[in-house]
Amino acid sequence: MVKQPYSQGRMLSIVVPTLNERDNVRALVQRLDDALSGLDWEVIFVDDDSTDGTPDVIRELSASDTRVRLLQRIGRKGLSSAAIEGLLSASAPILAVMDGDLQHDEKALPEMCGKIRDGSSDLVVASRYLTGGDFGNWSKGRRLVSQIATTLAGKLFGSQISDPMSGFFAMRREVFQSTMRKLSGIGFKLLLDILLSMPRGFQVAEVPLKFNARESGESKMNFAAAWDLVFMLMEKRLANLFPARFLMFCTIGTLGLFIHLTILRILYGSAQLDFAAAQLGATVFAMTSNYFLNNHLTFRPNQRRGLRALSGLASFYLVCSIGLVANVGVAQAVFNQQGAWWLSGIAGALVGAIWNYAVSSNITWRT
């Protein structure tokens, strides 16, 4: 890879995604100032419309310190996508990503930058698994999840990096530019996305990372984050042929099919309703469950909450009405010919599935 020479201007841009990190912002800027003495740097906070006043604190800091910048996002959420937008707005030849919860040790940045500036590395990962690194006060459960994810990534893609799940890394701008159009932006493991998207030829190194204790805020590790990670890995494994969100939607749709058949069996077999009425009831029930699961998981960055969740459900019903009519009509036609309730139910459900994804992703959960 052709490496661009470093200029004499700003050397390092640090991107920090934030969500309700008001109490950490000032401390992080001070720590960066102490750790990066003698290095021209900037920090870009990408805030997902925090409700605790985080953007106001960042604006106040940026008014007196030109190294501090704010990118506030409205109607978009997600750690990886936030980091990508921050990296796209960065000005320096060396780009770093770290969390805003003060757990990432900023004192590792000079060594990480040094490895890039001397030409020995193009991407440097702060690893919890190297000798000298640790997980801080992580619970056993959280450590286990991280270890399983790391092992899975290694098995699927042959990664030689000890900590591909790290959220703290630095890279030459050329590394990001070679991957930015291939990144899924799903979940919160951007490093793994970059590692799986970048072409051969870049040199990757690691430095040990000791996790600091969390001083405020909450961990972003939860079921939804693990869900995102699984489907991001699936997208990469399938060579980006199918977007991760489409794979999520199909998975929930498959679950919805089982729900549909279960309700259909109850209504038609046990309650002995007319088949058309039973099919209609099962369809509405499955559609409702699919909506709430997709709202919480597939389209979480655009998740509808409160009364908007109910209006979203109404929108979902409305835009899927054509699919519903086709669903019931096809199912009834198959039932009249075959007489098999389960085959008729599957046929009707499949007809509506294609329409549902196209419409819901562009109307119900549009940004």
> What's the pLDDT score for residue 269?
78
Q: Which helix (H) or strand (E) holds 72?
A: strand 68-72
pLDDT band at 1 (very low <50, low <70, confident <90, very high): low
pLDDT band at 136 (very low <50, low <70, confident <90, very high): low
Q: Over the stretch 176-205, which tens digit does the pLDDT of each residue have?
A: 999 999 888 887 788 988 988 888 889 999
Predicted confidence (pLDDT) at residue 160 exceeds the cutoff of 80 = no
> What's the pLDDT score for residue 240?
73
Predicted confidence (pLDDT) at residue 158 exceeds the cutoff of 70 = no
> What's the pLDDT score for residue 331?
82
Helix (H, G, I), strand (E, B) or coil at 125: strand
pLDDT band at 121 (very low <50, low <70, confident <90, very high): very high
Asked whether 243 and 161 are in contact (CB, 8 A), the reply is no
Instruction: Kindly state the average pLDDT of the residues 23-36.
Output: 95
Listed range (3-17, 195-209, 250-264, 288-302) with the worst mean pLDDT = 3-17
Phi, psi of 208 (to 5 degrees): -70, 145
Which residue did the predictor score with more confidence, 75 or 81? 81
Give the residue carrying structure tokens 């780009």.
95
Phi, psi of 207 (to 5 degrees): -130, 150
Mean pLDDT score of the chain, rounded to an integer?
84
Instruction: Kindly state the average pLDDT of the residues 114-124.
Output: 93
Query: How far apart, in whole angstroms, are the C-alpha atoms of residue 77 and residue 285?
Result: 29
Asked whether 125 and 161 are in contact (CB, 8 A), the reply is yes
Instruction: Kindly state the average pLDDT of the residues 339-367.
Output: 78
- The answer for residues whose C-beta is within 8 angstroms of residue 9's C-beta and 6 or more apart is 40, 92
> What's the pLDDT score for residue 86?
96
pLDDT band at 276 (very low <50, low <70, confident <90, very high): confident
Instruction: Kindly state the average pLDDT of the residues 30-41.
Output: 94
Give the residue from 173, 154, 175 showing the smallest Cα distance to 164. 154
Domain range 12-223, CATH class:
alpha beta
Annotate 342-360 with three-state secondary structure.
HHHHHHHHHHHHHHHHHHH
Listed range (119-123, 177-181, 352-356) with the worst mean pLDDT = 352-356
Angle between helices 190-197 and 223-237 (to 10 degrees): 0
> What's the pLDDT score for residue 140?
67
Give the residue carrying structure tokens 């106040």.
60
Q: Where are the alpha helices (DSSP H) in the chain?
A: 22-35, 54-64, 79-88, 109-117, 140-157, 173-179, 190-197, 223-237, 244-264, 275-293, 307-319, 321-338, 341-359
Map out the domains of the chain as residue ranges: 12-223, 244-364
Phi, psi of 124 (to 5 degrees): -125, 125
Give the residue from 44, 53, 60 showing the smallest Cα distance to 21. 53
Helix (H, G, I), strand (E, B) or coil at 222: coil
Instruction: Kindly state the average pLDDT of the residues 166-180.
Output: 94
Predicted confidence (pLDDT) at residue 272 exceeds the cutoff of 90 = no
Q: Over the stretch 84-96, which tens digit does the pLDDT of each residue have?
A: 999 999 989 999 9
Instruction: Kindly state the average pLDDT of the residues 278-289.
Output: 88
Instruction: Kindly state the average pLDDT of the residues 316-322.
Output: 81
Predicted confidence (pLDDT) at residue 215 exceeds the cutoff of 70 = no
Listed range (210-214, 326-330, 357-361) with the worst mean pLDDT = 210-214
Q: Over the stretch 54-79, which tens digit does the pLDDT of each residue have?
A: 999 999 999 999 999 999 998 788 88
Give Cα separations from 303 to 274, 298, 308, 313, 364 (angstroms). Answer: 36, 9, 9, 12, 10
Which residue did the predictor score with more confidence, 157 or 323? 323
The amino acid at residue 211 is F
> What's the pLDDT score for residue 242?
78
Taking the CA atoms of residue 91, residue 93, residue 235 and residue 150 in that order, the dihedral angle to the nearest 10 degrees is -120
